[in-house]
Amino acid sequence: MGTYLYDYQTTLKSRVTLSGVGVHSGKPVSVTFLPADADTGIVFHSANEPGRELRALSSEVGSTDLCTLLGDPAGFHVGTVEHVMGALFGIGIDNLVVEIDGNEVPILDGSAIRFVEAFEQAGIEVQSARRRYIRVLKPVRIDSGASWAEFRPHNGTRFEVEIDFASAAIGRQSFKADMSAELFRNEIARARTFGFLKDVEPLWAAGYALGSSLENSVVIGDDSRVINMEGLRYPDEFARHKTLDAMGDLALAGARFLGCFRSYRGGHKLNATALRALLSDRTAFEIVEATRRDRGRSIEMVAVSSPVYAPWTL
């Protein structure tokens, strides 16, 4: 399965569990990924409070400060969902129950590769229900100071993410590609989160980044050099990680999109705002299904009517 134009929805063949610490809380946490029926979507269940759940949808986003958080920051919530959601978007998994025994997805090594490897170990099962996509019909753009993000029509799923930092270790760099499962695994999944040494103490004082370390973050020192012994995994790892973040944030649409997402100096808040702007304008997109033509040699995307309870309904 090399592209996103899969005919049918998918889930895992078996359950799989990962454990680690929350990058902000510093607390140990485990997540178990369970196969789910078609049309379930991605649903987080609390292992500590039976009956408490959160759907991985844009409408459930409660905060975009430092990470993407679902639910009520002062109540039941699940934080730092962007990397696991990016992994699910990236390799093409539609339906899962995610049972978590804390309030933050474990950071693992700061990238999405551990999630990808776990999902590959469990195996991907193709289901009988057809997959639906959100096809972008016209440009939708959000500006915020010097930053901007936009969706544009495109025949496929494309990301064009550009960042610009004053630090000499980063500077201005971009990552642009039409996404596929193979490209995601090889070019995006291993890109780690990053931060600056000068910001660590203020974050600790505010109660954040308590689980951050050189084991799960690329850290840039006061001399604008990467202080991790292993160095970078990609020359432009920073732009690739921002692409991973964008994929995870846009996965909260509840369906994959067909179009091009472009951003400059973006982040979780801008990604979330752009997604809501797209979904709130029903003239900007349509819901389509992949239909095989000419004995399966080509794929045509056919518009379908969507029920009022569809995942992309805000």
Residue 83 assigned ligand-binding role: yes
The CATH number for 27's domain is: 3.30.1700.10
Is residue 311 assigned to a domain? no
Distance CA 314, CA 310 (A): 9
Distance CA 300, CA 285 (A): 17
Is residue 279 assigned to a domain? yes
What is residue 293's predicted lDDT score, i.e. its pLDDT? 66
What is residue 212's predicted lDDT score, i.e. its pLDDT? 87
Residue 245 assigned ligand-binding role: yes
Q: DSSP letter at 248?
A: H
Report how many domains make up the chain: 1
Phi, psi of 50, rounded to the nearest 5 degrees: -55, 135
- Collapsing DSSP states into helix, strand and coil, what is residue 168? coil
Contact 142, 150 (CB under 8 A): yes
What type of residue sits at position 263? S
Distance CA 217, CA 21 (A): 13
Residue 37 assigned ligand-binding role: no
User: Does 77 qualify as catalytic in the annotation?
Assistant: no
Is residue 273 assigned to a domain? yes
Pairing of the two strands 96-100 and 124-130 = unpaired
What is residue 291's predicted lDDT score, i.e. its pLDDT? 75
10 Å CB burial of residue 196 (0-12, 13-18, 19+) is middle
Is residue 308 assigned to a domain? no
Pairing of the two strands 157-164 and 172-178 = antiparallel
Domain that holds residue 214: 8-303
Is residue 309 assigned to a domain? no
Distance CA 169, CA 161 (A): 18
List per-block mean pLDDT (blocks of 10 residues) for the chain, which spans 314 residues: 64 98 93 97 94 96 95 95 98 97 96 98 95 96 97 97 95 97 97 92 80 91 91 97 98 96 97 98 93 66 64 50
Distance CA 135, CA 200 (A): 41
Catalytic residue chosen out of the listed positions 24, 77, 154, 268: 268
Q: Is the pTM of this model over 0.85?
A: yes
What type of residue sits at position 41? G
What is residue 311's predicted lDDT score, i.e. its pLDDT? 52
Is residue 269 assigned to a domain? yes
The residue with tokens 């990467």 is 226
Distance CA 196, CA 221 (A): 6
